Structure 1
Amino acid sequence: MSRKRPGGGLSAAQQAAKFLGVSVLSGAVLAGIALPAVGALGLAARGTMEGFDEIPAMMERPPLSEKTTILDAEGNKIADVYSRNRTVVPLDQMSDHLRQAIVAIEDARFYEHGAVDLRGILRALTQNVESGAVEQGASTLTQQYVKNVFVEAAGDDQEAVAEATIQTGAAGLGRKIREMKYAIQLEQELTKDQILENYLNITYFGQQAYGAEAAAQRYFSKSAADLELHEAALLAGLVQSPSQYDPLVDEQAAVDRRNTVLQSMVRTGDITQAEADEAKARDLGLNVSEPRQGCITAVNDAGFFCDYVREEFLNSPVFGETRDERQAIWDLGGLTIQTTLDPTAQQAAAQAAKDHVYAEDEVVGSVVQVQPGTGRILSMAQSLPYGTEGDATSINFNVSADMRGTANGFQPGSTFKPFTAAAALEAGISPAQEYTTDWEHSLPNSDFRTCENEPYQGNTPDYEFVNEREDERGTWDMTSALAQSINTYFVELERQVGLCETITMAGDLGVERGSGEPLTAQPSVTLGAQETTPLMMASAYAAFANRGTYCEPIAITLVTDADGEEMPVPESECRQVMSEHTADTINQMLSGVVEDGTGQAVGLTDRDNAGKTGTADERKDVWFVGYTPELSTAVHVGGRADQVSMVDITIGGQYFERASGAGVAGPIWNQAMTGALAGTTPTTFNPVDVPRGDDRRGDGDRDDDNGGDNGDNGGGGEDNAGGGDGGVELPDWPDVEWPPDIFEGTNQGNGNGNGGRD
């Protein structure tokens, strides 16, 4: 039953009927469009029509989902990613053949009728009633476009997709009626060519190709503008049933359907019979292009970095208040994302990882490089390719668990020790601080204080620990302990500076558990017993290179939307977490690691560089983290999903009785750094005098831990040659008032160069 609006105006239903050219649009007629029987469903349709006015007047048309392109720092494409393979193009960039073919086969009277084709309705009604089945539909191209809009809006919600495409019952009739109303609206808002353009960009052509441009590329490896007649007819034929007429599945069905389209084009007068016959005589002419999308297709072995970019986007509130909002924006696509990836550094990192750890090895090599002072991630690579099959992995070992990394990360081993050293320097403890220990050592757990200033309660009364080798016994200062990676020294130092101070310094440097949880105040933390990630370690060491200023890592520098408008992007937050003097001192001491310490074999020879080796319990993780003023690189080697004890193992074609940070991770670091820095001008660390322990006096030249380094450290150095008390000259240390007994209990030199220890 029709209703009049107040004031005598026609209802929307009556307007629809008038638009169709009939006095009453009955439920029975509507039911007959898609159903052989009308009866009760006709009554349901009448009820639906009575609610015609209740349908919202304006249909929301969400923008079409498109591909997103990810670029490196130089503007080179890394990968295209999308939820739907689509490239929106205007109608004048589509072949005339395609436009004509679609109209001929889907809605021959498209340019003649309104939003709803009454003649088509009556034809479909007659055919369906006579056959007792649904053989014909009566939807115009405008109505089909409306349906596709609802499907597009449903996204991956299968329930919503089903609702948008339901054919039978009252729900099916309701869908048809909504389509009619919105089709009427669109015909009043848009021209026929605009509707056709929208239709050709939204419709699905099979094989994950949405829109004419993607379909042309998929089946013929060419633009939609360049489609020939026989090619356009094939694509037009796919729209009715992409799976039934799929040329990659059933070639004959595709040929028959193409020929049907060609004959329809003859009837509409778009081509002659001779042209149709010539096109029919041709084979399908397929030139299939496999869709290359997603991080698995990333160039320059940048799949893991591509994966990180996606996760940074989904985790950053800059792109939306909730993750669901950010996911919707990502799925919609159409973005161009410029990133921090340096192609030279990436190539060097990827090649270094693959050269030294083979895909078939039991372990994986991971490399990540960060630019000091900006936080920009310059490279992210693994020895395994990005993927899910064979010798590949989708696990991004470079990042934390909440960024699709491993469950907990990896134990960093002795690469954690510089954080304890930095905390000690900030607390006013001199690098000359010495401890004398045996190779095995124990301390009461109660000697350590928690962040609540309570005695640490361990599982046992004492914390027992050892050095790497049994001959590592004696007296060390901070410089020699870092160079030789002396465990006993750093546990003693941690006891003096405090557990809380140690983990606070690490936290300020961006280091946390791989699970995303903060570090726990436990004595073993200084020995790297709590898991973290290569990205965190590279970023933390970059702060040393940057004279104590830590910058949060970032991967995205510029994002533009489908309209070319710039979007806000996350910026690296930089903060001073230690004094410049502390960082300079760490740089000086870690330079000793690569000059004559555990990393001596892999240090760079052409520029200032510093670093630290690391080996976790049972050699399940080995590390080298190091840097120059321009670049910080962390390398980790360890098991894939399961940890592997790297004893009696072959890695990269080389046998290792016992893997180590210097022996396995170090060469990867050296190669990655050398390649990334090739052609760049070396710069230097800020020079600083680092005080040494009183036992540093020797004969002027020190061999490993024996003898003195220079005149300032007593002994036979040329500045103090022939005399003096051999004591340490206290530097002008910022904000530190040196206690008079700082060197109490250490050996005093006799001025004759005999103060060194052995």
Structure 2
Amino acid sequence: MAPKRSDIPSVVPPHTPRRPGRQLLLGARLLGVSTVAGAVLAAVALPAVGGLGLGAKAAADDFNNLPGDLVVPTLSQASKIYDADNDVIATVYSRDRTVVPISKIAPVMQNALVDIEDHRFYQHGAIDLQGTLRALLRDGASGGVSQGGSTLTQQYVKNVFIEEAGDSSSGVADATRQTLGRKIQELKYAIALEQRLSKQQILDNYLNITYFGGGAYGVEAAAQLYFSVHASQLTLPQAALLAGLVQSPSAYDPVHNPAAALTRRNEVLDAMATYGTISKAQAAQAKATSLGLRITVPKTGCIAAKAGDEFFCNYVEHVLLDDPAFGATAQARQALFDQGGLRIHTTLSPKDQAAEEQAMQAHISARDSAVAVSSMVQPGTGQILAMAQSRPFGTGTHQTEINYNVNGLQGGGEGFQTGSVFKAVTAATALSEGYPLGYQIDSPASADYPAMTDCNGVVHPAVPGDQNDTTKPYGKINMVQAMAASVNTYFVPLEQQAGLCNVVHMAQSLGLGDQGMVDSSGTALTPLSQAQSLTLGVNDLTPLQIADAYAAFADNGTYCSPTALTSVVDAAGKSLPVPSAGCHQVLSPSVAQQVNTLLHSVVSDQGTGATIAIPYSDAGKTGTTNSEAQAWFAGYTSELSDATVVTDPNHPTRTLNGVDIGGHSYDPAYGYLTSGPIWHDAMLAAMNGLPDNPLGFAPAP
């Protein structure tokens, strides 16, 4: 049994720093650093192969020609993504590292590393002449160049080269190649570092940069990985184990090579006793303990985010990598992301996310071929409050890594046809053009699509095909009646009279459409199709786009781009600018209020969405595409806007009629039957505790 922490006698504080390298510095003053280095390096080369021709003067010349200052890198480390309640959603990184100051690294850890790697660290300068000369004798006999004799400072320089190489195998190989040229380079930089950094600073940098195996970079990540403690909490045997890993993390891997790791740990303990850092009794007591591993494999990346938050996390990653706010080029943004150390605070509301998740679980199964997808945003800010899917994030059966809430540029798909949800855009256009709520149009059961001219000046001739879901003619009805019953033969001629191009521009002003955008593979995203059936929702749009567009109606015509970030702070504590919602007026308040009146009629007693109304001032619209392949409900209060779609994303033209959805079968599978109940339950839970501020309504005709 491993002894308790209190059972192990305390060890001495870290070695007291002495004036570094007094003899070497004196020699450097008399002969010049480059001459000393040249003499040492010539000694490395000449015993090996006389034909090398590198004497002291030549080595000194080469030494002087090297740049003198090593640029100390900002270490790549983990970034954390937080929700609106300041809880961590996920930890993401290119390397598992958390940089900590020397004050948060246990003194016993500092001592263990110095004693096993460079016990004269506080007595010598950049070069340990004693160690170097011993290494030279070995190298001269073997004819090669070894790492023996390298000081901690020189090793730190080598680790800087490795850090700069990143994931490049060739770069890492070059950084670790033991050649005379590399030795010269390491030495020159080590001398410069010793002149401008204290010993404690160098040791601090070393402990944060070095690799300890198992994917852990730096002592904090290593302490968490192997012992599930912070670096400040390491005990003597734990510190000795970690210090022993530095020489060869794979050979002494305590998980896969425990016997070798134990032997190496005990070597470190013996070294600490030899140099007086601990007593022999302390060493013996520590050696009697087991490895005492308590492995904690870090949960990293969006795949390891809180259940349900993975899709939003993935969206946040795309914002960081795609938005120019985080770098003018893709390379600059990738470098920022890889560097890590970011504290990324987001808009995600745990309450609203839970409401979406629970609503989906109540009405659809992850095993169903159909998938429910929902986005919720805040009117007036564009803040994304929730983003959910009934099929979980992952690569397994009944899972997906595609975020259907967003488009391909943001890690999603192409979107889905919206059906009659789009009629609100046509209505907003007509109202803006001066057509009143009481405007009447004769609405038969079926009619032709009238001729229309698109934004390119192309005239689309009249063609048959406009029809309603019922064979009953509606006769002359006004806009409120047409919206409540979702009458196609009203909204198609209304689109023609308001102007097809005007409807397109209104859609664009509400964030609908992807003109000029490309996805991550470079494929152009499909712009709005300017067909005569535009008003019937033939374009592929995403739940986030629809929820955000409807939020403009809720906020008196103010449109805000969807935003996921509230603040981003880099590793140095500097606040980075985050993308702006760019809120601006796209509809007059009076037009927005008239749209609210129209969409409130849908959830009134006479509307298609009457059964899913919530006991708040609300408005919304159902939308069902041809053959019931997509079923939508989008709606809002003054506080929240939510859009939900149910569809089979793998077969977007396949009907939902007769398909098992949460243990039920619907025929027809209208939006108010499928997506509507999900919207209702999510909004009801999310609105709990929020004020019921009434929407602005215009008087109905």
TM-score when normalising by structure 1: 0.83
Paired residues of 1:588 and 1:687 also in contact (CA < 8 A): yes
Q: Which residue of 1 aligns with 2:357?
A: 350
- Asked whether 1:442 is paired with 2:448, we answer yes
Pair 146,640 (structure 1): closer, same or farther in 2 beyond 3 Å: farther
Q: Which residue of 1 aligns with 2:227?
A: 220
Distance 1:652 1:638 in 2: 13
Q: Which residue of 1 aligns with 2:693?
A: 683
Q: More displaced, 344-353 or 149-158?
A: 149-158
Pair 462,129 (structure 1): closer, same or farther in 2 beyond 3 Å: same
Pair 14,540 (structure 1): closer, same or farther in 2 beyond 3 Å: farther
Paired residues of 2:657 and 2:665 also in contact (CA < 8 A): no
The 3-state SS of whatever aligns with 1:431 is coil
Pair 616,52 (structure 1): closer, same or farther in 2 beyond 3 Å: farther
Shift of 1:631: 0.8
Pair 257,684 (structure 1): closer, same or farther in 2 beyond 3 Å: same
Distance 2:428 2:377 in 1: 20
Out of 385, 392, 402, the residue aligned to residue 385 of structure 1 is 392
- Asked whether 1:657 is paired with 2:667, we answer yes
Q: Which residue of 2 aligns with 1:415?
A: 421
Q: More displaced, 129-138 or 147-156?
A: 129-138
Distance 1:575 1:592 in 2: 27
Q: Which residue of 2 aligns with 1:430?
A: 436
RMSD: 2.5
| Matched ranges for 1:43-62 at <5 A | 43=54, 50-62=61-73
Q: Which residue of 2 aligns with 1:254?
A: 261
Shift of 1:368: 0.9
Q: Which residue of 1 aligns with 2:543?
A: 534
Paired residues of 1:13 and 1:52 also in contact (CA < 8 A): no
Amino acid at match of 1:551: C
Amino acid at match of 1:138: G
Q: Which residue of 1 aligns with 2:337?
A: 330
- Asked whether 1:592 is paired with 2:601, we answer yes
Distance 1:653 1:129 in 2: 79
- Asked whether 1:15 is paired with 2:11, we answer no
Paired residues of 2:81 and 2:343 also in contact (CA < 8 A): yes
Shift of 1:649: 0.9
The 3-state SS of whatever aligns with 1:51 is helix
Q: Which residue of 1 aligns with 2:576?
A: 567
Distance 2:491 2:113 in 1: 75
Pair 142,300 (structure 1): closer, same or farther in 2 beyond 3 Å: same
- Asked whether 1:504 is paired with 2:510, we answer no
Paired residues of 2:504 and 2:528 also in contact (CA < 8 A): yes
Distance 1:551 1:433 in 2: 30
Q: Which residue of 2 aligns with 1:195?
A: 202
Superposed CA deviations along residues 549-593 of structure 1, whole A, max 9, x for unmatched, are 111111111222233332222221111111211111111111111
Shift of 1:433: 2.8
Distance 1:417 1:369 in 2: 20
The 3-state SS of whatever aligns with 1:271 is coil
- Asked whether 1:173 is paired with 2:180, we answer yes
Paired residues of 1:28 and 1:42 also in contact (CA < 8 A): no
Q: Which residue of 2 aligns with 1:29?
A: 44
Q: Which residue of 1 aligns with 2:288?
A: 281
Paired residues of 1:27 and 1:42 also in contact (CA < 8 A): no
Q: Which residue of 2 aligns with 1:123?
A: 134
Pair 347,48 (structure 1): closer, same or farther in 2 beyond 3 Å: farther
Paired residues of 1:11 and 1:53 also in contact (CA < 8 A): no
Superposed CA deviations along residues 234-280 of structure 1, whole A, max 9, x for unmatched, are 11111112122211222112112212222222222222333222222
Pair 328,41 (structure 1): closer, same or farther in 2 beyond 3 Å: farther
Distance 2:700 2:581 in 1: 32
The 3-state SS of whatever aligns with 2:659 is strand
Paired residues of 1:30 and 1:45 also in contact (CA < 8 A): no
Superposed CA deviations along residues 385-413 of structure 1, whole A, max 9, x for unmatched, are 3233333322111112111111x211111
| Matched ranges for 1:441-480 at <5 A | 441-443=447-449, 447-456=451-460, 462-471=463-472, 474-480=475-481
Pair 18,40 (structure 1): closer, same or farther in 2 beyond 3 Å: closer
Paired residues of 1:519 and 1:530 also in contact (CA < 8 A): yes
Pair 44,655 (structure 1): closer, same or farther in 2 beyond 3 Å: farther
How many pairs does the alignment contain? 665
The 3-state SS of whatever aligns with 2:643 is strand
The 3-state SS of whatever aligns with 2:541 is coil
| Matched ranges for 1:264-413 at <5 A | 264-299=271-306, 301-406=308-413, 408-413=414-419
The 3-state SS of whatever aligns with 2:540 is coil
The 3-state SS of whatever aligns with 2:603 is helix
Q: More displaced, 466-475 or 97-106?
A: 466-475
Pair 149,686 (structure 1): closer, same or farther in 2 beyond 3 Å: same
| Sequence identity percentage | 47
Paired residues of 1:12 and 1:52 also in contact (CA < 8 A): no
Unaligned stretches of 5+ residues in structure 2: 1-26, 518-523
- Asked whether 1:613 is paired with 2:622, we answer yes
Paired residues of 2:560 and 2:584 also in contact (CA < 8 A): yes
Q: Which residue of 1 aligns with 2:17?
A: none
Paired residues of 2:644 and 2:678 also in contact (CA < 8 A): yes
The 3-state SS of whatever aligns with 2:368 is coil
Paired residues of 1:97 and 1:229 also in contact (CA < 8 A): yes
Shift of 1:176: 2.0
Paired residues of 2:44 and 2:145 also in contact (CA < 8 A): no
Q: Which residue of 1 aligns with 2:3?
A: none
The 3-state SS of whatever aligns with 1:391 is coil
Q: Which residue of 1 aligns with 2:553?
A: 544
Distance 2:446 2:30 in 1: 90
Paired residues of 2:35 and 2:56 also in contact (CA < 8 A): no
Amino acid at match of 2:241: L
Distance 2:685 2:129 in 1: 71
Paired residues of 2:547 and 2:634 also in contact (CA < 8 A): yes
- Asked whether 1:155 is paired with 2:175, we answer no
Distance 2:92 2:182 in 1: 32
| Matched ranges for 1:508-519 at <5 A | 508-513=509-514, 516-519=525-528
Shift of 1:475: 4.0
Pair 652,24 (structure 1): closer, same or farther in 2 beyond 3 Å: same
Q: Which residue of 1 aligns with 2:639?
A: 630
Q: Which residue of 1 aligns with 2:587?
A: 578
Superposed CA deviations along residues 609-668 of structure 1, whole A, max 9, x for unmatched, are 110111223333221110011110011222244434322211122222342211111111
Distance 1:83 1:628 in 2: 41
Paired residues of 2:491 and 2:535 also in contact (CA < 8 A): yes
Q: Which residue of 2 aligns with 1:603?
A: 613
- Asked whether 1:494 is paired with 2:509, we answer no
Out of 655, 666, 669, the residue aligned to residue 679 of structure 2 is 669
Q: Which residue of 1 aligns with 2:155?
A: 144
The 3-state SS of whatever aligns with 2:646 is strand
Out of 91, 110, 116, the residue aligned to residue 102 of structure 2 is 91
Pair 569,182 (structure 1): closer, same or farther in 2 beyond 3 Å: same
Paired residues of 2:367 and 2:398 also in contact (CA < 8 A): yes
| Matched ranges for 1:227-242 at <5 A | 227-242=234-249
Shift of 1:42: 6.2
Distance 1:608 1:629 in 2: 8
The 3-state SS of whatever aligns with 2:372 is strand
Amino acid at match of 1:182: Y
Distance 1:90 1:344 in 2: 36
Shift of 1:466: 2.7
The structure number with the bigger radius of gyration is 1
Superposed CA deviations along residues 265-315 of structure 1, whole A, max 9, x for unmatched, are 222222233322222221110111110222223236222212222222223
Paired residues of 2:423 and 2:491 also in contact (CA < 8 A): yes
Q: More displaced, 129-138 or 533-542?
A: 129-138
Pair 245,475 (structure 1): closer, same or farther in 2 beyond 3 Å: farther
